[in-house]
Amino acid sequence: MKINNAFLQWAIDGADPKTGQKEWEDRMVALRRENVQKPVVFIGTGTCGLGAGAAFTLEKIRQYLEKNAIDADIVEVGCIGLCVEEPLVDVQLPGRCRLMGKTITQDKVDEFLKAVFAGETPKGLTLAQFKTDGLEPWDGVKFQDEHPFFGPQTRWVLRNCGVINPASLEEYLARDGYRGLKKVLSTMSGEAVCKEIEQSGLRGRGGGGFPTGMKWKFAFAQKDPQKYLVCNADEGDPGAFMDRAVIEGDPHRLLEGMAIAAYAIGADKGYIYIRAEYPLAIERLKHAIAEAEANNLLGEKILGTDFSLKMIIKMGAGAFVCGEETALIHSMEGERGEPTVKPPFPAESGYLGKPTNVNNVETYANVPVIFLKGPEWFSSIGTEKSKGTKVFALAGKINNVGLIEVPMGITLREIIYEIGGGIKGGKKFKAMQTGGPSGGCLVEKHLDTPIDYENLSAAGSMMGSGGMIVLDEDDCMVSVAKYYLEFTVEESCGKCVPCRVGNKRLHETLEKICEGKGTEEDLPYLKNLSNVIKDTSLCGLGQTSPNPVLSTMEYFWDEYVAHVTTRTCPSGKCKALMTYTIDPAKCTGCTLCARNCPVDAIAGEKREPHVIDQTKCIRCGACYDKCKFSAINVQ
């Protein structure tokens, strides 16, 4: 959509609304939702929202508005982060603050909207409200900055997610969009841009944490007239969905960050390598690119300068190894996604043999705010060596599953017990797996450790792209390590022997231990093989793949010992190590367990205590689940 060119220039120049033209002032106020002339209903239709039934909720909203003859706009937004409360529906009435509604499934739409349009607070259906000066607040509803999930966060990468319409360039412009790009193109050289990124302390958010400014300077220094910029949006870690949510909720932020980076290194082509399993993100990216090109924010001679940038989407097949930059580049070239030895680094010889800079979505999404607020502002957030904020996908045994953005240096305790709302079911915290298959475990002694690149590495884990999976007292850490190794074995590109064969042997040994066939000799074997794989694998993915084994062995050694000595699983998760028996004092002989046993392992007369034949039992747990008298014991 082509927008008024004069308005575009006025918006990205950062003009004071008080001195702008009257119609532009009114338009900007409306776009920022500082007030609305008629009701607006917002609904989160990111992937998480749609998975929770947002499409059905959206249709019900349309029906309600039509049935009650209410003239209101409906705006689809991305994910605001609290995925566990989806579908999320916000309503803003003229003169009132924007009200956030939680778990508004299709059967709750009428109740929620009826109360809101009557000016009443819907009981039990509200999450928070946006604080806006001059607008009347809703009684009994916390403001967003007071809410335990949102309050402790520092949202810059996620600032617009769940707030603006990702399909509207104007809404992005109204919230300072493309002002950073305009500043860079009109007042700075590529070298100066690299220097400011270096001064900010921004490090790559894809996992390695390499200084972004230094990486850009390497590419800038190359004399080749053809250079490429690449965005890694492959995101393959189990439980990670940060990049997908940013693209679905605020695609122009990524495009602006990439445009600044391309200008800095001297690239005229930008590629977004994204897995094909992200259809909604791809759709919103395509729309945003078309909008930006229509308004001279991408394409030829951007904003009247000599800088041109063509943005291209490349879809990948979803291989985990393509998160490694050289493997990603090979996939883009139509080759097998396999890593190569470095040097040469992509900055010297990357895509098609030309100087190439590769960063992930979150790294580029940090860039616009650095040029809005300055590198000193950015470096004032975080720790000495880890600056800014970090987006994490919080999942597992935690109450507030979702997407969070917090300053570097926040503690694990704050994330779990304040933002995350504690462990599900009041269970005891056991560990948090960070960094996905390449990461390790943080345990109770780490709860008050500031989270940054250095501290996670010292604990035997890593930042990774930002996945955080919380585990409770019921989780078996040997099984957790086996799960991640199974993933790694499946996703290994197979190019180098340590990763291809070594991880297979690790997984087989863990499988053997979980099946009750392990021996004490297997434990030093696991450690030794893990260290060999770390030292000899070709790429970073192979080198970090044994981390789940090494960290769980370090912090949960007793569980490994129990598996191979007494043949027991302390957490009761490994079925092969579980024994089901019937307590004769509690058994009433109702025969319910026997009738549900799939292998006829339970025998006994009616109204008499029953017995389980251990030679037939397959440890399926059906008897335990069906018994109404708590007569089944599990050891």
Domain boundaries, the chain: 32-146, 169-378, 389-472, 477-564, 579-634
| The predicted structure's pLDDT at residue 629 | 94
| The predicted structure's pLDDT at residue 564 | 95
Q: What is the C-alpha to C-alpha distance for residues 568 and 476, in angstroms, rounded to an integer?
A: 11
| The predicted structure's pLDDT at residue 17 | 63
* CATH among 3.40.50.11540, 3.90.190.10, 3.40.50.720, 2.60.40.10 for 169-378: 3.40.50.11540
Q: Which CATH architecture has domain 389-472?
A: Roll (3.10)
DSSP string of 215-269, one letter each residue: HHHHHHH---S--EEEEEE---STT--HHHHHHHH-HHHHHHHHHHHHHHHT-SE
| The predicted structure's pLDDT at residue 2 | 84
| The predicted structure's pLDDT at residue 619 | 85
| Dihedral angle computed from the Cα positions of residues 161, 163, 164 and 167, in that order, rounded to the nearest 10 degrees | 50
Q: What is the DSSP letter of 324?
A: S
Cβ contact 227:266 at 8 Å:
yes
Query: Which of 479, 506, 509, 507 has the alpha carbon at shortest distance from 573?
Result: 479
Q: Which fold has domain 477-564?
A: de novo design (two linked rop proteins) (1.20.1440)
| The predicted structure's pLDDT at residue 7 | 85
Q: What is the C-alpha to C-alpha distance for residues 424 and 113, in angstroms, rounded to an integer?
A: 30
The CATH code of domain 32-146 reads 3.40.30.10
* CATH among 3.40.1280.10, 3.30.70.20, 3.40.50.300, 1.20.1560.10 for 579-634: 3.30.70.20
| The predicted structure's pLDDT at residue 313 | 98
Residues 6+ apart with CB under 8 A from 250: 78, 158, 159, 160, 161, 164, 166, 172, 365
| The predicted structure's pLDDT at residue 317 | 87
Phi-psi region of 296 (alpha: psi -120 to 50; beta: other; left: phi over 0): left
DSSP string of 256-309, one letter each residue: HHHHHHHHHHT-SEEEEEEETT-HHHHHHHHHHHHHHHHTTSSBSSGGGSS--B
List of the chain residues with pLDDT < 50: none
